[in-house]
Structure 1
Amino acid sequence: MTYFSLEFSILMMAFFAIYWLFYDNYKIQNILILTFSYLIYFLINPYFALILFVYTFFIHYFSLLIFVRKKRYVFMTCIAFVILNLCFFKYFSSLKTSFDSMMEFFGLDFIDLDVLFPMGISFYTFASITYLLEVYKKRRLESFLNLALFLSFFPTLLSGPIMRSSFFFEQSHRKREFKNENLIITLLIFGIVKKVLIANYLGNYAEHILDFPQSYNFIQLLSAIYAYAIQIYCDFSGYIDLVCAFALMLGFNLPPNFNMPYLSKNLKEFWSRWHISLSTFIRDYIYIPLGGNKKGKARTILNLLIAFILSGIWHGNTLTFLIWGLLHGIGVAFLHILALTKINLQKIPALGRFLTFQFVCFTWIFFYYNKSLDDAMEYFKACYNNFSHIPSYQDIYILTSFAVIFLIYPLFINFRAYCVKILDLTPFLLKPFIITFILLLIFTFMPDGIPNFIYSSF
């Protein structure tokens, strides 16, 4: 089941109607959200729901232990178990051969253990870390049901954004109102357009070229990586738009996760606009605890590299993900060094934006070819070997279209606010016809099938 399936739409509408019957009792609403979240997760895979329940049980008792003992080593031990649990599920498939050899050595080769990576485990693991830290520092303890609600909250369960426990519980412990109807409609339409139309069409285009790079000329290879850059943004930000709409329908706000990242004038700004909940999590829970920028320039650069490398291998345990994170770390570290000179690209924002976008697209190559470094190298070899191949007019038109998109992109800064304002001014009786017409256009021109969200595998 996906959030675009007919089954989910029917369940969501039924749940929405029941949920607001209890508008004056947020405790019953919380129980309804908890039940619905586990139902959705169970329908995706019962095994995933069981893992989440057991995980919540351990986090609850970890929090009780931290609350009672009040010792730093107790807190750090609990955090270590949480991280080891994530690593076990995330990297078991890569370690299975070694595990089987160890079982054979001890005469236990009859044990054939296979572990499936649960969807969303990274996001609810990070959420649980924010909760354990809240218990340790601010002595704020929640009941098992409230914790279960937080970790299983279906809008953020599968692919984030990462929600801090204090941010969530502040909203879950108060009466809610249904409002922002036009913003909800706008977010739903934005999410569908980004994923169903833009991301899927660009994904189909990029995939054909990037999977067989030696068969295409340099212009096509360049266009393909630009297409992938837009695809991954629309895919993930489209998902965020969708779940933000779901949360608003329940009276909750989610933290921002994207802010037009390809407008960034440098790489540091890019990471303040891209996957904001992850980048701020890494800043607050890795970079700053390591010392941040308070221990000298050399230590600052080292802390940056560690933070970005961990960000890379969080996405996957392959060498290409590590390189992807390392390159971004080197890029941000270079900006720190550049700040010590008189060179200031901020005075030429268009150039800074262009260079940042090119760097990000270059590093997306290692993100796309995430299984093998050899595949990534094949792309670069193809760019070199096929550089002299004469492109067709169609290839030039496609590359030109990406250049035009890059130039007009800044015009969409307030586009969502404008759409909400237009809906505010639209008569109520006319809105259903406009929305129906837009949805008909989308479903008429959408490609066949809806692939999973790219970030659902992380």
Structure 2
Amino acid sequence: MTFFSLEFSILISAFFIIYWIFKKYYKIQNILVLLFSYLVYTLINPYFALILLIYTFFIHYFALLIFTREKKYILFISIISVILNLCFFKYFSDIKDSLNIVFNYLGFDFLNIDIIFPIGISFYTFNSITYLVSVYKKHKVESFINLAIYLSFFPTLLLGPIMKSEFFFNQIFKKRKFGNIDLIFVLLLFGIFKKVFLANYLEIYSKGILDDPQNYSFLELLSAIYAYALQIYCDFSGYIDLVSAFALMLGFSIPINFNMPYLATNLKDFWSRWHISLSNFIKEYIYIPLGGNKKGILRTYLNIIIAFCLSGIWHGNTINFLIWGLLHSFGVIFNHISLFKLKKFPFIARFVTFHFVCFTWIFFYYPNLEDSFEYLKICYKNFFLLPDYETFYVLIVFSILFIIYPSFRNYQKNCTRILEATPLILKPIIIAFLLLLIFTFIPNEIPNFIYSSF
């Protein structure tokens, strides 16, 4: 079951009706959210729901230990245990063969363990770390039920954004009002449009070229990596728009995760706009505890490299993801030490930053270093190879989009205002027409979200 299936649409519609029947009783609403979140997760895979339930028990136990003992080493052991749990599930497929060899050697050859990576485990792991740190700092522990609601909250369960425990618990104990209806519809429309329409067609175009680069010219390869850069943005930000709408339907808000990232004029600016919740998590729970920028220039640069390398390894355990993280760390450091700043030339700064990000996406897309270098080698080899006319049209479209992109800064607010000003009788007609238009022209299949594998 996916968020775009008919079954989920019927299920969530029924849930919202029941949920708002109890609008005067937020405690009952909380229980309904918990039950529905586990229902959604169970329908995806019952095994995932069981893992989450067991995990929640352990986090609650760790929190009680931290609360009663107030020892920093208990917090440290708890966080290490949580991270090791994530690593076990995330990288089990890579160590499975080695484990089988050990089992065979010990005479346990009858054991053939196969463990599936639970979708969303990275995000509820990060959420739990913010909770454990909060318990240690503020000396306040939540009930098991409240913790279970937080870790299983279905809008953020599968792909985030990472939501700090204080941010969530500040909302859970309040009566909720159903509002922002126009904003909800705008977020739903943009979420569906970005994912099922834009991201799908961009994937069809980029995948055909990037998976077989030998047969394409430099300009075609360039246009494909542009398409992939837009695809990964539309894919992930489309999901965030969708779940932000779900959260608003419940009377909750979730953290902003994207803020026009390709408007960035340097890499530091880019990471303040792209996957904001992850950037903030890395800064607060990795970079600053390492010393941040308080222990000298060299230590600052080392901390930046460590933070970005860990970010890269989180995305995957291949050398490519490590290189991706390293390249971004070097870019941020270069921005620190560079005497020549492009702030006076914002268009050029944005152009350079965007192309650096596109270059690093090469290592994000390909599964191994050999394929990444093969792409770069083919770019050089086929530099003077003439593409077909269609590629020139595609590049012209991308160029126009890059130029007019700044004008979309307030597109969400502007669209919401337009919908607010639309007569009530016309709103359902317009929304239905737009949805019909999107679903009429989408490809036959809707692929999984790119970040579901992280």
TM-score by length of structure 2 reads 0.99
Partner of 1:333: 333
Native 8 Å contact 2:216 2:387 kept in 1: no
Partner of 1:171: 171
1:437 corresponds to which of 433, 436, 439: 433
Q: Pairwise mapping of residues 214-225 of structure 1 onto structure 2 (< 5 A)?
A: 214-225=214-225
Partner of 1:36: 36
Partner of 1:381: 377
Question: Structure 2: which amino acid aligns with 1:359?
Answer: F
1:448 corresponds to which of 427, 444, 450: 444
Aligned pair 1:366/2:363, yes or no? yes
Deviation at 1:262, TM superposition (A): 0.1
2:110 and 2:384 mapped to 1: Cα distance? 57
2:67 and 2:370 mapped to 1: Cα distance? 49
Cα deviation digits, residues 132-169 of structure 1 (max 9, x gap): 00101101110000000000000000000000000000
Native 8 Å contact 2:282 2:307 kept in 1: yes
Q: Pairwise mapping of residues 14-413 of structure 1 onto structure 2 (< 5 A)?
A: 14-338=14-338, 341=339, 343-369=340-366, 371-413=367-409
1:345 partner SS: coil
Cα deviation digits, residues 398-433 of structure 1 (max 9, x gap): 111111110010111111111100111111111010
2:452 and 2:350 mapped to 1: Cα distance? 29
Native 8 Å contact 2:203 2:231 kept in 1: yes
Deviation at 1:345, TM superposition (A): 1.1
Superposed CA RMSD in Å reads 0.7
1:174 partner SS: coil
1:101 and 1:446 mapped to 2: Cα distance? 47
Corresponding pairs, count? 454
1:193 and 1:132 mapped to 2: Cα distance? 37
Give identity over the alignment, percent: 66
2:388 and 2:40 mapped to 1: Cα distance? 48
1:389 and 1:260 mapped to 2: Cα distance? 34
Q: Which has the larger displacement, 86-95 or 105-114?
A: 105-114
2:330 partner SS: helix
Question: Structure 2: which amino acid aligns with 1:346?
Answer: K
Q: Which has the larger displacement, 394-403 or 407-416?
A: 394-403
Deviation at 1:105, TM superposition (A): 2.4
Native 8 Å contact 2:240 2:257 kept in 1: yes
2:426 partner SS: helix
2:401 and 2:336 mapped to 1: Cα distance? 30
1:45 and 1:394 mapped to 2: Cα distance? 43
Partner of 1:2: 2
Question: Structure 2: which amino acid aligns with 1:443?
Answer: F
Partner of 2:421: 425
Native 8 Å contact 2:26 2:173 kept in 1: yes
2:425 partner SS: helix
1:140 and 1:229 mapped to 2: Cα distance? 42
Question: Structure 2: which amino acid aligns with 1:358?
Answer: H
2:202 and 2:256 mapped to 1: Cα distance? 25
Question: Structure 2: which amino acid aligns with 1:386?
Answer: N
Deviation at 1:109, TM superposition (A): 2.0
1:221 and 1:396 mapped to 2: Cα distance? 12
Question: Structure 2: which amino acid aligns with 1:365?
Answer: I
Deviation at 1:386, TM superposition (A): 1.1
1:126 partner SS: helix
Native 8 Å contact 2:89 2:118 kept in 1: yes
Deviation at 1:261, TM superposition (A): 0.2
Deviation at 1:99, TM superposition (A): 1.1
Deviation at 1:226, TM superposition (A): 0.0
1:295 partner SS: coil
Native 8 Å contact 2:155 2:247 kept in 1: yes
Question: Structure 2: which amino acid aligns with 1:388?
Answer: F
Deviation at 1:104, TM superposition (A): 2.0
Question: Structure 2: which amino acid aligns with 1:401?
Answer: V
Structure 1, unpaired ranges of 5+: none
Question: Structure 2: which amino acid aligns with 1:348?
Answer: F
Deviation at 1:391, TM superposition (A): 1.7
Cα deviation digits, residues 158-202 of structure 1 (max 9, x gap): 000000000000000111000000000000000011011110001
1:206 and 1:186 mapped to 2: Cα distance? 28
TM-score by length of structure 1 reads 0.98
Q: Which has the larger displacement, 193-202 or 380-389?
A: 380-389
Partner of 1:414: 410
